[in-house]
Copies of this chain bind each other. A is one copy, B any other.
């Protein structure tokens, strides 16, 4: 259900365009272009841009318009260090509320990740896997921030994956399996540990590839 509200539809459209890489970091977003393309007026576009700014997907400057933020290597590194500390909280909050159905879903998504070879598909599935592990966390403030952190580094994950291919994928799968097992067993300590390690290892791999940041 698209909510019926135009501004949220526009926001969804732009969110997809940015996360899919169609709009790269640094790209400018002209209100009238979007309005025309979606058959709406500029007003809902303006509101959509504010919504996306809250998600960290665009940055807005008065009288200069909106553009997709361009993060430096150091900024991305800090974002990953933030994730390393925040997401363990989310998984611990979430685990008690995950039932067998959720565990099944996780197993299924992880199986699809292991069968997959496409970069774009991996990005979606990986995000789905982690968000599923957090789906029992009902603290809005936390989930908003976590989503924001994923959003703002989506572009770099993509270019890194396109570069490294599936060479390092075995580690991701091993870590996901360990996380999934800990979640199933209800072992919060292990879940925290493996999740933190997963993010940390990714951060360090990224730091070895400065070419991702042009």
Contact = CB atoms under 8 A, between A and B. Distances in A.
A149 B160 CA distance: 31
Interface in A75-122: 75, 78-79, 81-82, 85-86, 89, 93
Given A5-B62, A47-B46, A54-B50, A141 B89 contact: no
Contacts of A75: 139-141
Contact of A85 (B53, B62, B86): B86
Interface string A62-84: 11000000010011001101100
Contact of A89 (B85, B148, B152): B85
B141 A149 contact: yes
B50 A139 contact: no
Contact of A74 (B3, B54, B79, B139): B139
B145 A145 contact: yes
Contacts of A47: 46-47, 50
Interface string A147-179: 011001000000000000000000000000000
Nearest to A50: B50
- List the 6 shortest-distance A-B pairs measured between CB atoms, nearest first: A50-B50, A54-B54, A85-B85, A78-B139, A5-B62, A145-B145
Given A75-B141, A82-B86, 15 more contacts: A3-B62, A8-B62, A47-B50, A50-B51, A50-B54, A56-B141, A56-B144, A78-B142, A79-B142, A81-B89, A82-B141, A82-B142, A85-B85, A141-B148, A141-B149
